[in-house]
Structure 1
Amino acid sequence: MIKFLDLHKINNRYRDAFEASFKSSLDDAYFVLGKNVTHFENEFAKYCGTTYCVGTANGLDALTLILKGYIQLGILKKGDKVLVPANTFIATILSVLHADLVPVLVEPDPETYNISVASVKANITDAKAIIMVHLYGQLCNVESLQKIAETHNLLLIEDAAQAHGAECKLGKAGSLSHAAAFSFYPSKNLGALGDGGAITTSNPQLVDVVKLLRNYGSAKKYVNEIVGVNSRLDDMQAAFLNIKLKTLDADNDKRRKIASAYVSGIKNPKIKLPFYDTTKAHVFYAFVVEVENRTEFTQFLDAHKIEWLIHYPTPAHKQQALSSFSNVELPITEQIHKKIISLPISPVMSTEEVQQVIAILNSY
């Protein structure tokens, strides 16, 4: 069986360092907002090219706290409209709802799967912010979205949950907007051994507010300044992330190498390959292809012992939780969700496994 993502093998590379770090943290006994979190926040901000990083409990909270932070600062107000890609994991949309803002769902570019610049322009009317999701690890059309945001005086926010380390001439994911949210869910390119998230920004006022929000609205114990939540990056997870951050670029390079092999090696006209311009703007959190008959294709993969995943089988606006959007017409998003399937890709795949996947797909 060729695994879709072998987390045991990925994390086993760090076992000795993890165990030493765990022992150190156990001896230190400072388990919440300790030195590991501070160290990781400093290192990840430096890595992304921002002034600040604030650790949170998960990626959804990171995005929600950014929006709530801007409300606290008076830059947004409850009920404001936020442009959000319709083709995204539901968490992006949930963050807007959790902040008492109104999501306006925008169609993607069918080639890149990311938010369409033309659709953003068509829906700009009275929006106050844009969330650009670097889906599957590929940066959006950042330059165009930055220009739109600047022209219309809009907040530009990144959902970079799948794009750790992606970069273009303007900088790295996390530094390409007013503020960015990351997830460190175990399957991510930079994954913890549990949940975790972070906010990156160079806005000191926003940092002050989100640090309050993540900690019960408190900067000093038992003194609560605003209505906050409990959303703190676990100190032990920060310790693990400190270790894995050192090899993130090398892991991303391995993912790109596998993606290049797939793109050059898969010659089957029944399989539509993803857009890839061969730059570092894509870190391939997922390698997503399109097929016309997905059920038949997945059965073929099962028969040949190739694991697969669908990101995501049902569009967010068709989920019961978002039934208020069920009548919204989003034909491009819906077509994408009917055809896509993700193939195995990870920094621990062997050359033999990659070539085996290519050969099997060419025989489909």
Structure 2
Amino acid sequence: MTAGGRFDRLRLDGVSRRFGGSDALAGLDLTIERGEFITLLGPSGCGKSTALNCLAGLLPLSRGSIWRDETRLDTLPPEQRGFGMVFQNYALFPHMSVRKNIAFGLRMRKVARAAVRRRTDEAIRLVHLEAHADKLPGQLSGGQQQRVAIARAVVVEPSLVLMDEPLSNLDAKLRLEMRTEIRRLHQSLGLTTVYVTHDQEEALSMSDRLVVLRAGRVEQIGTPEQVHTRPANRHIADFMGFRNLLPVRVAGQAGDGVVVDGAGLRLTGSPVGEMRPGDPAVAAIRPEDVRIADQPGGGVEVTVEVVEYQGRELSAEVRTGDGALLHLRTARRLAPKDRIEVVLDPARLLVFPADPGEGGGEP
């Protein structure tokens, strides 16, 4: 089985959707190359599902256009776009067997009976449901139902597969298994996939590129590594796991780095954006990049307030003498009220300009 309706690229030009007087999606520009796995990532209400539904044809555009090579798609109804779709709630027909659910799209396209059976059997094998082909959806687990939904989407050999938070209803173990399964199918079938999720780990592990949205607008487009290690602004940093966000003020330069002061701390990090001495800023660093000092006098003294056991590591919330709250991860055993010293890795600390109206730390 191979993905049908081949194209070189899919292009979204200024795609926008308004509800009432507000933009749910504003000016989305994106080019998707054949074979890419693109993830639309962001918190609830950021516009990612709106973008997917505009692409699918389930929502008309307020502005903009969608092109598959030189063919304009946004003027076509959903059934003529040649896309497969996997919904969050599976949307299976409860009275039809697994086999009939998967075959439904082929029958609607009036594919010859022998081809329907061959392609359906192949799709069932791809998602490892041979032993369940004659069962009804209600007799399957959530993970098995999701496999049926995926098989139904790919059996029609779509030019593009759209997935709207397909793993959100599964437990943690199944989510991990299905992440691998979806990526395997994407690669083995040569699919082009647009995937929607609010789960950062899911997005990082599966995608070729991420499109990070906030309040209906694109904040950053990049590879998982680019978005993870170099978020474009403090809001993306916060969303991508930089739990430590400290209000500071720029004190000066240090080679290619920037020196900042705030909450009794003097820190050095890498600037993301233009800043001058005296400007308010936000210093951001991940908990795993805050480490306990090797010897006394080697770091900032803090008091441990909360400790959470997380398997091989502990997650701890600590506070400096000036009241700054920090989160760290460590293999060292800690307890509330312990006094330790911590070091913030300058190679991992990013400094962002503060938002307009947002003050920085005291100089």
TM-score of the superposed pair, with normalisation by structure 2:
0.27
Higher relative contact order (CA 8 A, sep 6+): 1
Greater per-residue helix proportion: 1
Structure of higher CA gyration radius: 2
Q: Which has the higher strand share?
A: 2
